[in-house]
Amino acid sequence: MKKSALGIYLIIFSGLIFFTMGVLSAADIPDDVTVENQGYKKNQKGSVHLSHKKHSTEYNVACTDCHHEYKDGKNIWKEGDPVKKCVDCHNPEKSEGNIKKLQLAFHSNCKDCHKEPNKAGKKNGPTTKCNDCHAKE
């Protein structure tokens, strides 16, 4: 009797720890991210600012809409896993098989989503203007 009660407390307690860890990791992401990769043949457009936390909390974009690690064609990356830089897998100079080159990878990710509301006929979607993302020189 006593033992099983202890067991239940242990289960509740470890559940709480996992819950807190989950909340902390979501709150722990960088507020803002500056994307400024080297390695492009021409680095002409300057750095790009991403309101990282806002995208995830206010705009409700899932982490997995931007972060991935593919295995057998499936995204196995999940929140809490280490985050590699996009450039670690996407080469700035050339696409390799179905791994798009870096500029294309970013544009497909950022711009394709930003274009969706326009395609659906809405007028006030996120920006698709070059200089709203790229710092002007």
- Residues making contact with ligand HEC (CB under 6 A): 26, 29-30, 33, 35-37, 40, 42-45, 48, 50-52, 54-56, 59, 61, 63, 65-70, 73, 79, 83-90, 98-100, 102-103, 105-111, 113-114, 126-130, 132-134
Instruction: State the burial class of residue 106 (Cβ atoms within 10 Å of its Cβ: 0-12, 13-18, 19+).
Output: buried
Could you tell me if 39 and 93 are in contact, meaning their C-beta atoms sit under 8 angstroms apart? yes
Residues 6+ apart with CB under 8 A from 49: 32, 33, 34, 35, 133, 135
Write down the least CB distance from residue 17 to ligand HEC, Å: 19
Write down the least CB distance from residue 11 to ligand HEC, Å: 26
Nearer to ligand HEC, 2 or 41 (CB): 41
Nearer to ligand HEC, 8 or 85 (CB): 85
Write down the least CB distance from residue 123 to ligand HEC, Å: 11
Encoded tokens for 98: 């179905």
User: How far is CA 58 from each of CA 24, 27, 55, 61, 121, rounded to the nearest angstrom?
Assistant: 18, 13, 6, 8, 22
Write down the least CB distance from residue 121 to ligand HEC, Å: 16
